[in-house]
Every structure is written in structure tokens, then in C-alpha cells.
Structure 1
Amino acid sequence: MEERKLRGRGMAASWYGIARTATIDRAGAWAELDDGGTAKIVTGVTEIGEGILTVLAQVAADELGVRPEDVTIGDNDTARSPEAAHAGATRQTYMIGNSVALAARDARAVLFAEIADHWEVSPDDLRAFNGEIWAMETNKRMSMADAVALCKGRGVVPVGSASFTAHGTGLDPVDGSGSPWQSYVFGTQVAEVEVDTYTGEVQVLGIWAAHDVGRAINPRGVEGQIEGGVVQGLGQALMEDYRTEKGHTSTHGFASYILPTSLDIPQINSIIVEDPDPTSPLQAKGIGEPSLVPTAPAIINAIYDAIGVRIKSLPATPEKILAALRERADKREAPAGPA
């Protein structure tokens, strides 16, 4: 008797271009070191749950030498803030993060110039971190609050602005040549599944996801993005089946459009690969959408490894798997033709 539940493993690799496709992408930001050693960042970025505001606070704090909790992200109304464009295309950290970093460096340079003149040292010898500023190889040190007060007392507001641009070109309609993206991310995922050959049900037992993100600004946030992408990919691979009839949806709700629940989610093992990006001042790239790309192919390859049949359309429902198994059995039982 054939074994009822069979296990298999599959792998898939992916690449993904960041920022707007085949066009120039840009983003701008303002930064200011404010009273009390705090900081303000103004940009038109939109937070849709991806954690970009946390990332921007971390970036600004690192560049300005203040604490993340002392960074305020200002109003994102583009009538009152620099353009940041849309939340999509895995562009937030790469585009807005870099514009904020450059603006913060601009503001820091203004402050350093005044403090260096006050201390009679080179601005290159100054360092700032966690709300303090000091001169290397000296005993000169003060709080960021005092440094900002001294700077403003000299009549100078430590404010900066910057924009970051990603260049892309269209694709040649004949040979496909061109450079649609400035930077790329790469990833590989491995899936282990168990297939019930009686019911056609597939259970994903584990996912191992390794993704190159450049520099990981917020590793926990990166892991969260990878896990979210894997869950979406699992739904795409096994459950989500949007259908229309004569232009109207026939999957009106979650009773017919099935989504993965907590009971469907396996152990997800995230491996962050940090290959610094030379096109990025932060050396960071992105991970939002790329984490979704290899999941479904890895699961489908694992199903093939388990039962030896190839599912060629998504989702790989129990009905499709049973049909493929029956078709394979029928071919095996079919009598051989004449010699």
C-alpha cells in the first residue's frame, strides 16, 4: 500500500528591482537639529504599516548623533513637505531613507562647522552619538542640547535639506536592452511540505528564507517583512483563488476567497544577508515585495519533490493535486500501444 503522506523540499531563487521602474525616481527631505538636542525630519513619506517611520527615526538619529526617541517625523502632507512619492516598489528605505540620511548629514555639517570653530578644531575631528558631541583625541565634549544652543547663539540654525535620485531607463522594444532599475535585491527560499495523497491537502512544514537587503537598518523589521511576504506567498501558492464571471467577481468574501490563518503558518526561518549597496549612501536596499517572490515557486517545487507531479497553475488546491495524481495513475495503467 502506498504511503498516504509524503514529504518534499523545494527551492526557488529570485531577484527584484527597487524603486520606480524604467524612470527617474526621487525623494526629498528636510532635517533640523532643534532646541534641547532633539531633531525634526520632514518628508512626504506615507506609513502604511511597513515601519518606515521607525526606520527614518533610526537613520536620522544615527546621522545626527541623537537618540531615536528624540527624533520627530513631521507632517507628511506634500503641500507642506518635500516630495517623497508613493509607498510601493520596495522603495521606502532606499529612496526616502537615503534622502533623510543626506539631509541629516547636511544639518550635521552646519552644526559641526560652528562647534569646530568654537573649539578651534577641524570639523573632521568631531563625532556625535546618543546626544553628545566631542572632538577626537581631546577632552572637549558637550551635550547635543548645549551644542545646538551654542550654534543658535551664533545666529546659525543647524538645518539641512537633500534629495536622492534613482536613475532608470526604458527597455528597448526590440531587444529588451536597458536599465530599468538602479539597484537589485536577491533572495532564495527553501520550503518543506507534506502532501496527503488521499485528500490532496498540502501542509507547509517550514520555510527557510535568505534575502540580501544591503545594510539592515532595522533587523527585526526586516524579519517581519520577510515573514509577512512568506505568509502572502503561501496564500498565493495554496489558497487564494480570485475568480470573475462576465467581469464580476464570484469570490465575494473570505468564505470563498481563502486566506491563510495562524494554523496554516509554518516556522519561518529568516536569514538576513547584508551585502552593502554601492549606489546607496546608507548602503541599504529593501525587502518589502522581494520576500514574496520565491515563496510560491519553492512550495510548488516541494510538492513536485513529494509526489512527482508538477502543478502548473496557482493556487495548488487539493482538487488540482488529486486530479494530477489521477492523471499520472491513468497514464501508468494505460495499455502500451502496438510495437
Structure 2
Amino acid sequence: MARKRGRGMAGGWYGIARTAAVDRAGTWVEIDDGGTVKVVTGVTEIGEGILTVLAQIAAEEIGVRPEDVVLGDNDTARSPEAAHAGATRQTYMLGNSVAMACREAKGRFVQAVAEMWSVDPDSIATGNGYVWAVDTNFRQSMAQAVEQIKKRGVVVVGSANFTAHHTGLDPVDGSGRPWQAYVFGCQVAEVEVDTVTGEVQVLGVWAAHDVGRAVNPRGVEGQIEGGIVQALGQGLMEDYKLAQGHTTTPGFAKYILPTSLDVPHVTSIIVEDRDPIGPLGVKGIGEPAMVPTIPAVMNAIYDAIGVRITSLPASPERILEALAKQRNPTISEIRSHS
């Protein structure tokens, strides 16, 4: 048969946030006129959807709609430091920081409303842009409540800093705490290998990942799918070459990237094992989605044609070369397997 199918599996883990160094992120929050929530932090959106996640977190914490959350200027000359977008840290570091700042602001809002209504602060509840006192007739929109408490001299603000405490590794025994939170994942890949051309087609990937609390499940799925596609490019196509210090793959005609035709069907399984340290229980998903993909695909290739690919990418040329060695092994290879 020219085409052979195989399946492979691989697992992986990933530490969240800066490695072996203290990580931190700060946030300012104000419950503003019109019942909107202003969130100011130095977050950088690079396409991962963090702004949507932060709006959802702020909305849930304060009790407004996500569209009533305004995310302010992320220039750290005018906003608290949030550090970089990377290391799967945005939801974990910024999400927790925003939640903590919102809780401080909401606490002040609740106290002011309770004093205005002469009720117990514990009876105050919020949701969907309204505030009310349980078992009473007191109920107002957030906009009305903010207007009234501002007339009483109260501007509702909150601030917070979330810190992840990491330590370096001991150079002698390797002990230490390089991360404070971890995510885990496992993937199964099914491939079809053309033994005539050496082409590998990934037919499907089943990906189960622990992400902590999933704030935006559709966003998590998008991150998993994107990570898998990026890993497929690294594992099967992308081959950056240099000759005398100059690249010989300067454009996409020679440096091949996956297209929509190369994307397999991805089945994402979200596992919510909440982080016990952070207030939200969130972790993250970004780079972790890439970790098991390549070994799962390489194991699937081995299952299909019985050869191990140990150098990336697993291009058609390398597949054919491996198949040729399988048919006509050298004397040293025969001895190594005898």
C-alpha cells in the first residue's frame, strides 16, 4: 500500500509565568458613571483574546455586563505594570490581578450602598448591571447607585497586585520552585503517510488539556487549535537553513508554513483542575497546547511506517530517506539492532 495510517499519543506539562523569577501584575479599577467598570492595566493583546477574558472577569466580579467594561490605555507610562504577553501568563497573572482589584472596588461600592440604604453590607448583591438588598425593596441600576454615592462624596476605586513567587534551581541538587502553577495535557494524533512521496497528512488531533478554570471556553479551544497548527508547522514543514551565515530560506516559497488545507480536525477536551493558589482558580493555555503535538505526530508516523523520525521537520525527503534505510540498512545499523 502506498498510504499507511497510524496513531500516536504524547503527554506534556508546562509551568506558567516567568521561570525562576518573581512575576507580578498590577491593576486599577473604577466603578464609573453610567454603571460602567473601568479597568487599567498594562496588558498587551497579541491576538490571544486576553481583553475579552479580562472583560468577562471584571463583569462577573462587579456584577455588570461584559460590554459595560472599559479596558483602559495599556501604556505602562500611565498604567500599572503587567509585564509581557508570553509564558502562558496573561490569564493567570492579569486575570487574578483584575479579579482582586475588582473585589476591592466592589467592597467599597457595597459599603457605600449599604450605608446609603441603611442595610447590612452582607445583604447587598449585584448582577447584570443592577444592585439590590436581599429581602428588601431596595433595587437600583448600577448607574443610579453610582450617581447617588458620588453625590455622597464616594468615588469607587480599587487596586491590586498579583504575584507569583518562583525561585531558581539549586546548581547542585536541582531543588527549587521555578513555577508556582502548572498545566498538563495529552494529545492523540492520526496520520496518513504516503510511502511513495513521503508526504505526511495529519487527519485528526484529539487534545485534552488542563487549563484551570476556563473563563472563555471558546477562546481556550481557539488557543489549543492555534497551538496545534503552529506545532504541525514546526514538526512537518518549517526548515530554516543557513549557508555561511546567510539564510537560504528567505521567503515562504522555501520556508513552508501550514495553510488551511493542512489543518486537521481538532477535538478539544477542556479539563478544569482549578489552581489552588490564585483567587480565580485560572491557569492558562498557550504554549502548552504545542508541547505534546510533535511527539504525538512522530509516534503516529512510527505506528504507520515503522520508522523513527529524530530530526525535524519530518519532511517528505526525510520520510523517504528513513524508509530507504529501513529497506536497506547499513551494516552498523544491523549490528546496533542485533
Q: For the superposition of Structure 1 and Structure 2, which TM-score range results when normalised by the shorter chain?
A: over 0.9
CA distance in 2, matches of 1:265, 1:120: 60
Give 1:30's match in structure 2, choosing from 28, 31, 45: 28
CA distance in 1, matches of 2:135, 2:269: 39
1:149 Cα deviation after fit = 1.4
Gaps of at least 5 residues in structure 2 are none
SS of equivalent residue, structure 1 residue 77: coil
For residues 146-198 of structure 1, give each alpha carbon's deviation from its aligned partner in whole angstroms, at most 9, with x where no partner exists.
Answer: 11112212111110000000010001112211100010011111100001111
Equivalent positions of 1:195-234 (< 5 A) are 195-234=193-232
1:127 is matched with 125
1:137 Cα deviation after fit = 3.0
1:122 Cα deviation after fit = 2.3
1:279 Cα deviation after fit = 1.3
Q: Report the residue type matching 1:250 in the other structure.
A: T
Give 2:292's match in structure 1, choosing from 264, 289, 294: 294
1:333 Cα deviation after fit = 11
Give 1:285's match in structure 2, choosing from 283, 288, 292: 283
Gaps of at least 5 residues in structure 1 are none
1:264 aligns with 2:268: no
For residues 25-74 of structure 1, give each alpha carbon's deviation from its aligned partner in whole angstroms, at most 9, with x where no partner exists.
Answer: 00000000011111100001111111111111111111111111111100
1:311 Cα deviation after fit = 0.4
Give the conservation status (yes or no) of the 8 Å contact 2:168–2:176.
yes
CA distance in 1, matches of 2:306, 2:122: 64
Equivalent positions of 1:35-184 (< 5 A) are 35-184=33-182
CA distance in 2, matches of 1:183, 1:124: 33
CA distance in 1, matches of 2:193, 2:121: 64
CA distance in 1, matches of 2:135, 2:165: 41
CA distance in 2, matches of 1:252, 1:106: 52
Identity rate of aligned residues, in percent? Answer: 71
Q: Report the residue type matching 1:139 in the other structure.
A: N
1:276 is matched with 274
Give the conservation status (yes or no) of the 8 Å contact 2:43–2:74.
yes
Q: Count residues with an aligned counterpart.
A: 334
1:19 aligns with 2:49: no
Give 2:244's match in structure 1, choosing from 240, 246, 257: 246
SS of equivalent residue, structure 1 residue 9: strand
SS of equivalent residue, structure 1 residue 169: coil
Please say which of residues 238-247 and 85-94 is displaced more in the overlay: 238-247
Q: Report the residue type matching 1:129 in the other structure.
A: G
1:121 Cα deviation after fit = 2.6
1:332 Cα deviation after fit = 9.7
For residues 173-228 of structure 1, give each alpha carbon's deviation from its aligned partner in whole angstroms, at most 9, with x where no partner exists.
Answer: 12211100010011111100001111111110000111111011111111110010
SS of equivalent residue, structure 1 residue 331: coil
Give the conservation status (yes or no) of the 8 Å contact 2:116–2:149.
no
SS of equivalent residue, structure 1 residue 104: helix
Give the conservation status (yes or no) of the 8 Å contact 2:184–2:210.
yes
SS of equivalent residue, structure 2 residue 175: coil
SS of equivalent residue, structure 1 residue 107: helix
Q: TM-score, normalised by structure 2?
A: 0.96
CA distance in 2, matches of 1:333, 1:19: 49
RMSD of Structure 2 on Structure 1 (CA): 1.5
Q: Report the residue type matching 1:197 in the other structure.
A: T
1:141 Cα deviation after fit = 1.6
SS of equivalent residue, structure 1 residue 224: helix
CA distance in 1, matches of 2:202, 2:318: 17
CA distance in 2, matches of 1:103, 1:333: 68
Q: TM-score, normalised by structure 1?
A: 0.96
CA distance in 2, matches of 1:170, 1:51: 31
